[in-house]
Structure 1
Amino acid sequence: MLTPEVAVDLIVEALHIVMLLVVLLVVPGLVTGLLVALVQAATQINEQTLSFLPRLLVTLLAIILMGRWMSGYLMDFCVSIFQRAATLVG
């Protein structure tokens, strides 16, 4: 039976997975942006593409390296939800 406690547990687990996947994609770009900003401040070069391109490349590299694991992790969660659905509905 789907009680409020079970629903809250499912939502908490889903939000945990979303936060984990977002952190894996955002943090590398954030660190790269910080490093590029420090280099730009030290050299006084204010070029927008110099800031944007490295962050884009690092984010794409993170997707390439972690994409398979992230999609597998998300698929495992979806399979577990479908397996639990039969017991929750009845």
Structure 2
Amino acid sequence: MTPADVVDVVREAIWVLLAVAAPVMLVALGVGLVIALIQALTQVQEMTLVFVPKILAIFLSLIIFMPFMITSMIGLMEQIAQRISGV
């Protein structure tokens, strides 16, 4: 394997990592912002109020996006295995 091949594999792995992590992170960000807005409007500054909705939203988003995540990671692994077998 040449250094260019290694860079290509790392670049592809980083893109897959971002694609797999982004949906869950965006859901957590959105829920956090909504809860923060509600806390600011109601002036209820309870720190534990943020955790339960955010955890539930993250678990729900993991259940929803898991097929996409698995497909993306399997595709990356197949690509890496093909490159290894081609060496």
Common topology (TM > 0.5): yes
- TM superposition outliers: structure 1 runs of 4+ over 4 Å: none
2:44 is the alignment partner of 1:36 = no
After superposing the two structures, state which structure 1 stretch, 48-57 or 5-14, moved more.
48-57
The runs of 5 or more residues in structure 1 that have no matched partner are none
Summarize deviations over 1:4-32 as a string: whole Å, max 9, x none.
11110110000011111111111101111
Q: How big is the shift at 1:49?
A: 2.0
Paired residue secondary structure (2:11)? helix
TM-score (norm 2): 0.93
Equivalence for 1:86 = 85
- The one-letter amino acid paired with 1:80 is Q
Partner of 1:7: 6
How do 1:1-90 and structure 2 match up within 5 A?
Answer: 2-87=1-86, 89=87
Equivalent pairs counted in the alignment come to 87
Distance 1:68 1:49 in 2: 31
| Pairwise CA RMSD | 0.9
Rounded to whole Å, the distance in 1 between the matches of 2:9 and 2:51 is 37
Quote the Cα distance in structure 2 between the aligned partners of 1:86 and 1:20: 26
Q: Retained in 1: the 8 A contact 2:39–2:45?
A: yes
Q: Percent of aligned positions with the same letter in both sequences?
A: 32
Distance in 1, Cα, partners of 2:11 & 2:23: 18
Matches of 1:17 and 1:33 in 2, distance apart?
25
